[in-house]
Amino acid sequence: MAKEGPDMMEETEFMIDTNVGKEPENVESSGDAKEMRAVILSGFGGLNKLRVAKKAMPEPQGGELKIRVKACGLNFLDLMVRQGTIDNPPKPPVVPGFECSGIVESVGENTTGFEIGDRVMAFVNYNAWAEVVCTPVDFVYKMPEEMSFAEAAAFSLNFVAAYMMLFEVANLREGMSVLVQSAGGGVGQAVAQLCSTVPNVTVFGIASCFKHAAIRDSVTHLFDRNVDYIQEVKKISPDGVDIVLDCLCGENTGKGLTLLRPLGTYILYGASNMVTGDTKSFFSFAKSWWQVEKVNPIKLYEENKVIAGFSLLNLLFKHGKCSLVKLVMDKLLCLYDQKKIKPVVDSLWALEEVKEAMQRIHDRGNIGKLILDVEKSPTPLMASDSTETSEAGEEEEEPEGDNDSKERMPFIH
């Protein structure tokens, strides 16, 4: 049996090879069953596919921890999951979310290294946007004492991805140069901070013009994403850059490869250019694919260039590299303790405000990470918009687009 703390509740975690996305049977359980609030994605599409509803919480299995969630990270990937634009998406209904922070409430059998009451941050293969999650102990890390739950939810995915791309894939060293797309986002700001830990690294940041004032000090050179930044970069560095980090894809792939100097590394870690409207667009997908420069291996050989891809979640949940990620996390926590890095939190949102939070990230309005604060009270307007009141969770969906006229009032951190 799992070791219990006081007032425990249960939750099930579905991993990639074990029925990801399937809802537990008898969701409408008897009155004696313990329940939790969770964000439910009822189907792929627009914001109206998201609801907050109650669902049952089973016990952690062997090797798992049950975590009382305090904060969850929101990433652009979550928006792509909602639209169904990722490869092999889980069958809805599903609870979205891949990272969270909170307090250990119970420990499954044969689980060591953690105790009830530990403050932790965790990777979760879906199901993170809920009051309670269960996840294997290999994906859980203890939080530093000085780190807040919001910071922890903003830390794990962004900084681990940034570190591994820079140091494990591209082998960042003193005196090198890095170009990072979406420099104002969570990963972009993590990249900028990590580059500052290496002497004489030049960082070229690409971001929307309205973000420049807020992030100018975090990079060496900053350019508007809507201008011809290739020429601007080459004015400063005629032979290009050593590392290009691209989360956009589409036409930016060709631009990144053009800017790469010999022995340079281009890394694709996202494809946000495929997302234009509120729902999946075949036109946007086709346009993004068509604009990608076709890679010729012979040309790579002749120009001494490296092209790579990186997906942290696949590395964890499909490729089984938990031990490698654990080593990286240990290094990052040392840097945090030394006050060399610190996650940037854009804003805090209640679970019931998930639609408004997603709209903000869709509009590329965030600087740093958006956080779902599980204990935050929503504004009445947002609560009535996103919460299911029926036990069956079959509230009639509002017409898409109604949400656009609603006021957004996050807590800006």
Per residue in 217-263, pLDDT tens? 999 999 998 888 999 999 999 999 999 999 988 778 888 899 999 99
Domain assignment of residue 143, yes or no: yes
Same domain? For 252 and 314 the reply is yes
Same domain? For 199 and 303 the reply is yes
Angle between the 251-259 and 282-291 helix axes, to the nearest 10 degrees? Answer: 20
| Predicted confidence (pLDDT) at residue 13 exceeds the cutoff of 60 | no
Domain assignment of residue 11, yes or no: no
Is the CA virtual torsion 179, 362, 41, 355 positive or negative? Answer: positive
Number of domains observed in the structure of the chain: 2
Task: Work out the average pLDDT over 302-320.
Answer: 95
pLDDT at 24: 41
pLDDT at 278: 60
CATH assignment at residue 81: 3.90.180.10
Same domain? For 190 and 267 the reply is yes
Same domain? For 90 and 140 the reply is yes
| Predicted confidence (pLDDT) at residue 392 exceeds the cutoff of 50 | no
Domain assignment of residue 82, yes or no: yes
Same domain? For 314 and 173 the reply is yes
CATH assignment at residue 204: 3.40.50.720
Same domain? For 316 and 172 the reply is yes
pLDDT at 67: 97
pLDDT at 166: 98
Same domain? For 230 and 338 the reply is yes
Same domain? For 139 and 179 the reply is no
- What span, in angstroms and rounded, lies between the C-alpha atoms of 68 and 399? 34
Same domain? For 139 and 189 the reply is no
- What span, in angstroms and rounded, lies between the C-alpha atoms of 346 and 265? 30
Q: Using pLDDT thresholds of 50, 70 and 90, give the confidence band for residue 267.
A: very high
pLDDT at 408: 40
Residue identified by tokens 């009270």 is 377
pLDDT at 42: 95
Q: Which one-letter DSSP state was computed for residue 39?
A: E
Of 122, 150, 178, which residue constitutes the final position of a domain? Answer: 150
For 246, residues 6+ apart whose C-beta sits below 8 A from its C-beta are 181, 252, 253, 256, 266, 267, 268, 269, 270
Same domain? For 208 and 192 the reply is yes
Same domain? For 146 and 160 the reply is no
Domain assignment of residue 277, yes or no: yes
pLDDT at 313: 95
Half-sphere exposure of 181 (CA within 13 A, CB side): 25
Residue 186: give the domain boundaries. 156-343
Domain assignment of residue 255, yes or no: yes
* b/e burial code for range 336-351 (CB count within 10 A of at least 16 → b): beeeebbbbbbbbbbb
For β-strands 241-246 and 177-180, DSSP reports them as: parallel
Domain assignment of residue 364, yes or no: no
Backbone angles phi, psi at 261, to 5 degrees: -85, 165
Between 393 and 327, whose confidence is greater?
327
Indicate the range of 34-43, 53-62, 157-166 predicted with least confidence: 53-62
Computed over every residue of the chain, the mean pLDDT equals 83
pTM for the complete prediction? Answer: 0.82
Same domain? For 169 and 289 the reply is yes
Give tens-digit pLDDT for 279-290: 555 545 444 444
Question: Which residues are registered as beta bridge partners of 36?
Answer: 55
Q: What percent of the chain has pLDDT over 70?
A: 78
Give tens-digit pLDDT for 156-209: 999 999 999 999 999 999 999 999 999 999 999 999 999 999 999 999 999 999
296 burial level (CB within 10 Å; 0-12, 13-18, 19+): exposed
Of 291, 315, 343, which residue constitutes the final position of a domain? Answer: 343
Domain assignment of residue 17, yes or no: no
For β-strands 119-123 and 99-107, DSSP reports them as: antiparallel
Of 104, 120, 150, which residue constitutes the final position of a domain? Answer: 150
| Predicted confidence (pLDDT) at residue 5 exceeds the cutoff of 60 | no
- What span, in angstroms and rounded, lies between the C-alpha atoms of 54 and 390? 9
Q: What percent of the chain has pLDDT over 90?
A: 67
pLDDT at 14: 33
Q: Which one-letter DSSP state was computed for residue 130?
A: B
Residue identified by tokens 């029926």 is 390
Domain assignment of residue 360, yes or no: no
